[in-house]
Structure 1
Amino acid sequence: MTNAYWCVLIAAMMPYIFTFIAKFTGGRYNNFSPREFLEKQEGFRKRANWAQMNSFEAFPPFAAAVIIAHLTGGEQGWIDTLAMAFIGLRVVYGALYIGNFATMRTLIWTAALGCNIALFVAGV
């Protein structure tokens, strides 16, 4: 199992960290209507929910990129480095999202997207 494959697992679990922040850091969570509950959140809890949704959106291209990089014979050290950079950037992205730092968040999002693109072409 490569480091990059472990990063796929980490990326798959990352949205749940933001979900936890959105649901359980204040207010009385309503498990009977969780989406309605999350829609009514404000401040950092609302942004944590948005970070959670964006993390779910970012996962499929990342997982595909890692698999494609492996299948096309990319250099393993480079694949691992890009995958770990993606994870680090996405953690920072989530923190910036929750902290309401929009411009920095966008720059970090762009860098993480760059890691995905680099993974897709790593075996070329």
Structure 2
Amino acid sequence: MTIAYACILLMGLFPYVAAGIAKKDFEQYDNSMPRQWLAKQTGFRARANAAQANLFESLPLFFAAVIIASISHAPQTKIDLLAVGFMIARIAYLICYVANWPTARSIVWLLGLLCVITIFFQI
């Protein structure tokens, strides 16, 4: 397994970290109606839930970039480095989102997107 493929696996699971933060401590969490419960949340829980949605939304383009670059025989080292860069940016994104640092969040979001776009240009 390449580093980039490991990043695909880790990033595929990462939105569930955000979901766990949104449901932190599970106090009065209603598992029979989780979406309605989450919709009523405020503060870091609401931000973590929003981050979860965005983390899921970013996956298809990242997955496609890595897979297409790999089957096109782009330099694996470059794919790996950019995939790790994307992963670091997305981890920072979640931290910034939960901490309510909107400017930093936007910057790391852009850095992650640039990593994905750059993977496509390795082909």
TM-score range, shorter chain: over 0.9
Supply the distance in 2 between the matched residues of 1:32 and 1:122 (Cα, whole angstroms): 46
AA matched with 1:77: T
Structure 1 unaligned segments of length 5 or more: list them.
none
The count of aligned residue pairs is: 123
Match of 2:79 in 1: 79
> Cα offset for 1:116?
0.5
Partner of 1:99: 99
1:40 alignment counterpart: 40
Distance 2:14 2:54 in 1: 11
Q: How far, CA to CA, are the matches of 2:28 and 2:70 in structure 1?
A: 45
Moved beyond 6 Å, runs of 4+: none
Provide the residue aligned with 1:109 in structure 2: 109
Structure 2 unmatched runs, 5+? none
Who is 2:56 aligned against? 56
Q: Which amino acid aligns with 1:112?
A: G
1:26 Cα offset (Å):
5.2
CA distance in 1, matches of 2:16, 2:114: 24
1:24 positional shift? 2.6
Q: Which moved more, 1:65-74 or 1:7-16?
A: 65-74
Q: Which position in structure 1 is the counterpart of 2:4?
A: 4
- Considering only aligned residues, what root-mean-square deviation do their CA atoms show, in Å? 0.9
| TM-score, normalised by the number of residues in structure 2 | 0.97
**What amino acid is aligned across from residue 15 of structure 2 in structure 1?**
P
For residues 117 and 23 of structure 1, what CA distance do their matches in structure 2 show? 33
- After TM superposition, the structure 1 stretch with the greater mean CA deviation from structure 2, 33-42 or 21-30, is 21-30
Structure 2 counterpart SS, 1:30:
coil
